[in-house]
Structure 1
Amino acid sequence: MDDTLFTIGGHGVTWAQALGGAVALFVLLVILLRRRGAREAARHDEEIAHRLSEMARAQAEMTGRMQSMAEVFANRHSDLARALTERLDGFGHRLNQSMTSQARATHDSLTRLNERLAVIDTAQKNITELSRDVVGLQEILANKQTRGAFGQGRMEAIVADGLPQGGYDFQATLSNGRRPDCVVRLPNAPCLVIDAKFPLEAFTAYRDAGGPEARKAAAQRLRADVLKHVGDIAERYFIPGETQDTAIMFVPSESVYADLHEHFEDVVQRANRQRIIVVGPSLLMLSIGLVQAILRDHRMREQAHVIHKEVTLLAEDVGRLGDRVGKLKSHHDQAGRDIDQILTSVDKIQKRGAKIEELDFAAEDDQSRAQPRLMAGA
């Protein structure tokens, strides 16, 4: 162990020294390695701590983001809930309005339906009453006396509605002792006779005829009865100077009048040639309206002198009104000229006032004060 192993710088190194140096070197290496390991461990710990802090910061950011997202989700959820509630409320309101309007429309429809049912009920009652009236009318027309009274009543109603009192007479007696159904008084002319006794028996038989032979026989009977009645009217009621040479034969039914003109035109023409005019209710009303116009024109002619006097007085009033308007116009023209003269005077006064305002009195005062000073200096 004491043997010299090698020499360094003239100094011999033994095995013990070499071994001790090796041990020291090993210890030094161990110490260095431990220090390096400690430094690496510290650096590793620092890295871990840094990573942990980064992770903590990332976790905090993630937590903040999660909280923000939670708040956003909460706001969105509240907005969505509010929007859904509003839409549900609006839908409920619209549904309520729709149901209300539908209920109102249904109520209105039911009300109108009830009204129409009431109208239909009333119409049904009217139809029932009309059917009873038709049955009664058939019964009336089946009897000759009642049928004549029916035609007389319709004719009297039309005449009384269209003419004034004194313009007609019912059942008046003529000079020959005959009594027509109605006499219409015309001004300054003979009266007009109206007969309401149309022979309806033959016409009813013509309508009720079943076969062609029966219908032909009923038509011949109808022609004969109508022409006989036309001849009776012309013989009984044509009195020269007392009645017109034209008479009216009244048919109390429009349908009978239409059938007579359609199927028995020859009978109507023969009656016209005998100056007998066959009329229905509508034509009788038209004829009475024409007579009423004639009476109105006659009354106006009777009052023509009164109208002429009133027109003369009206012309005199118009002349006086023209004179007074002329005087008023002259007064108005004179007043206009006076106003023009007043305006001229006012204009002159305004111009003189403007000239007075344009005068410079301050400069004249300065000049008047300057003259005494000049005289004192002299």
Structure 2
Amino acid sequence: MNFSDPFLILALVFALAAVALGLWAVSAQRRAAKAEAETWLLNERLAQAEERHRLLEDQSATQIELIKAQAAQSANAIAEQLIKRADENAKSRERLAEARLEAQLKPVAETLAKFEAQVNAVEKVRAEETGGLKAQIAALLEASTATQAEARKLSAALRRGAGVQGRWGEQTLRNVLEAAGLNSRFDFQEQFSVDSDEGRRRPDVKVTLPGGGVFVIDAKCSLNAFLESQEATDEVLREAAMVRHAASVRAHMQSLSSKAYWDQFAGEGSPDFVAMFVPGDGFLAAALDRLPELMAEAMDRRVVLVTPTTLFALCKAVAYGWRAEDQAKNAARIVEVGRELYKRVSVMGAHAGAMGKALESAVGKYNQFVGSLESQVLTQARRFEDLSVDHEGKKIDEPAAIDQGVRPLTKLSAEPAVGQSPTLTLGNDAPT
């Protein structure tokens, strides 16, 4: 075949084109048939899908209704459970709150109970003390009434005269002296007479001082004006009586100063003053209120105004001085007793030393005897055993020598000289 012919080439081209077109047409038909089949299948599937979708919608509606119903039931149940739980929680919170409140209030309750018990105890004690206080007040009133009665009796007795006041003042003075520790037999002398250039005088008390010396106490102060002031109903009369009382105390002080007891007892070592005893602090205070310079004037006149309080302190110092002097005397006695005891112990030590020497000599003699017995007698006596002499099973025991010597008195000093007492060395710092 000649492929160089153009018509032949075109014919071939058209033939090939026709064949290709036929093939394409066949292929297009096939594709169209396949597409149609696929379209039908898709339609079927779409119909099935729509059916399924409808069924699903129906089922969904049914399920929704069921879910709604179930949800409603569940919501009710849940609501009931929530309400129940809320109630339980509320009850738990209430119980917890009650427990917490009870725990917080328990100490308060216990404290209140203790406080109530203490209040009851205090009330009981207060009631008892009130009863006791009432009894004490009643007893105090009775004692006050009795004291007032006794005071009235004493006032009435003191108004009878100077003799009663003097005896009362003397007894008060004696009580103060004895309360201070002074003894009437040794430490002070009462109611004695003294001769002077102006005549015989009679001091109330003479107190002996430690180490020698005396001082005089006078207790003759008049109290008539003071007693009158206590009975006065008018203030003017009372003040006038108090002024007379102060003047009476001053006059007695001046009279006592003029007697110069310190000169009469100068030989006994009297200090240059005399004590004027006022038997009550109130008596002297009343006088000093009206005459403030009375105390200084009395000192200038060598008169010491004393009351039971101040005289007690003064006599207490005197009693202390007596005790100190007695202790000094006892210390001197102790020294003498110690010296005598030391002397006797020294003599006894000498006797002990002599006895030790005698014992040492006796031990030496005994040891010499034992040595002689062993060397001279027992050796000869044992020859009887060699000669078979019947000695009835008895053996001769050898006496033992005494090796221990007599303990020397190392604390005893050397032998005293002739005519001297032996001495002891009681220690490194003891006297010899």
Which category describes the TM-score, using the shorter chain as reference length? Answer: 0.5 to 0.7
Structure 1 counterpart of 2:187: 168
Identity value in percent: 16
How many angstroms apart in 1 are the aligned matches of 2:248 and 2:105? 85
In the other structure, the counterpart of 2:320 is 293
- 2:181 is equivalent to residue 181 of structure 1: no
Seen in structure 2, the aligned counterparts of structure 1 residues 317 and 100 have a Cα distance that, compared at 3 Å, is: farther
1:235 counterpart (229, 253, 259): 259
SS at 2:273's partner residue? strand
- Structure 1 residue 320: Cα displacement: 4.8
In structure 1, what is the equivalent of residue 5 of structure 2?
none
Which deviates the most, 244-253 or 116-125?
116-125
Q: What secondary structure sits across from 2:312 in the alignment?
A: helix
* Partner amino acid, structure 2, of 1:49: T
1:105-184 → structure 2 map (5 Å cutoff): 105-117=118-130, 118-119=132-133, 121-144=135-158, 145-165=163-183, 166-169=185-188, 171-176=190-195, 180-184=203-207
Q: Distance in 1 between matches of 2:315 and 2:142?
A: 34
Q: Taking structure 1 as reference, are residues 62 and 320 closer, same or farther at Cα in structure 2, changes over 3 Å only?
A: farther
Q: In the alignment, does 2:303 pair up with 1:279?
A: no
Show CA shifts across 1:175-234 (max 9, x none).
Answer: 547554333222343432222232111233456495769855863575256424652575
> Matched residue of 1:193: which SS?
strand
C-alpha distance 112-233 of structure 1, shift in aligned 2 (>3 A): farther
- Counterpart of 1:157, as a letter, is N
Distance between the aligned counterparts of 1:198 and 1:303, measured in 2? 41
Matched residue type, 1:253: G
Q: Normalising to structure 1: TM-score of the pair?
A: 0.59
Deviation of 1:296 after TM superposition, in Å, equals 2.9
Query: Which one has a larger percent helix, Structure 1 or Structure 2?
Result: 1
Q: Which residue of 2 aligns with 1:255?
A: 282
Change in 2 beyond 3 A, CA 1:230/1:304: farther
Alpha-carbon deviation of 1:160?
Answer: 0.8
Whether the aligned pair in 1 keeps the contact of 2:253 and 2:303 (CA below 8 Å) is no
Distance 1:257 1:127, change over 3 A: farther
Distance in 2 separating the partners of 1:231 and 1:243: 23
User: Is the counterpart of residue 201 in structure 1 residue 214 in structure 2?
Assistant: no
Matches within 5 A, 1:77-88: 77-87=90-100
For residue 170 of structure 1, report the CA deviation from its aligned partner.
Answer: 5.3
Q: Take 1:71 and 1:310, find their aligned partners in 2: how far apart are those partners?
A: 109
Max radius of gyration: which structure? Answer: 2
Q: Decide whether the 8 Å contact of 2:176 with 2:312 is kept in 1.
A: yes
Q: Indicate conservation of the 8 Å contact 2:192/2:204, yes or no.
A: no
Displacement of 1:56 after TM fit?
4.5
Matched to 1:196, the amino acid is A
Q: 1:89 to 1:268 in 2, by over 3 A?
A: closer
Cα distance, 1:99 vs. partner? 4.4
Amino acid at match of 2:192: T
Within 1, Cα distance between the matches of 2:174 and 2:280?
Answer: 14
SS in structure 2 at match of 1:143:
helix
Q: Could you say what the CA RMSD is over the residues aligned between the two structures, in angstroms? A: 4.2
Instruction: Give 5+ residue unaligned stretches, structure 2.
Output: 1-47, 343-424
Give the structure-2-normalised TM-score. 0.53
* Equivalence map 1:1-378=2 (5 Å): 42-59=55-72, 61-62=74-75, 65-66=78-79, 68-70=81-83, 72-87=85-100, 89-90=102-103, 93=106, 96-97=109-110, 99-117=112-130, 118-119=132-133, 121-144=135-158, 145-165=163-183, 166-169=185-188, 171-176=190-195, 180-205=203-228, 208=232, 210=234, 215=239, 219=243, 222-224=246-248, 226-228=250-252, 230-231=254-255, 235=259, 239-240=264-265, 241-242=267-268, 244=270, 245-303=272-330, 305-306=332-333, 319-320=428-429
